């Protein structure tokens, strides 16, 4: 699976069913492991709102489906 495949999926919280947004960036460690994914809400006028990005660690991802990524946050 490619990063671009992950960026096309909505990230949804398992705890409350809230749509968190989509993956916009990835933080890698020096040895190439994924530290976390950066998720930003999908807003039309993003520059008017505050920057409310969420960092999702690999151990918080519970399921990667065809359309969504389920996370425990």
- Domains of the chain: which residue ranges? 3-71
Query: Beta strand pairing status for 61-64 and 68-71?
Result: antiparallel
CB burial of 47-72 (b: ≥16 within 10 Å; e: otherwise) equals eeeeeeebebeeebbeeeeeeebbbe
CATH code linked to domain 3-71: 2.30.30.240
Strands (E), 1-73: 10-13, 19-28, 34-40, 54-57, 61-64, 68-71
Query: Beta strand pairing status for 19-28 and 34-40?
Result: antiparallel
pTM, 2 dp: 0.82
pLDDT per residue rounded down to tens, the chain (73 residues): 888 899 999 999 999 999 999 999 999 999 999 999 999 987 655 555 556 889 999 999 999 999 999 999 8
């Amino acid at each position: 699976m490619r990063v671009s495949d992950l960026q096309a999926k909505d990230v949804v919280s398992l705890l409350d069913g809230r749509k968190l947004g989509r993956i916009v960036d990835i933080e890698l460690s020096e040895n190439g492991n994924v530290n976390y994914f950066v998720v930003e809400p999908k807003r039309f006028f993003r520059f008017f709102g505050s920057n409310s990005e969420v960092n999702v660690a690999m151990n918080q991802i519970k399921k990667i489906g065809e359309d969504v990524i389920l996370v425990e946050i």
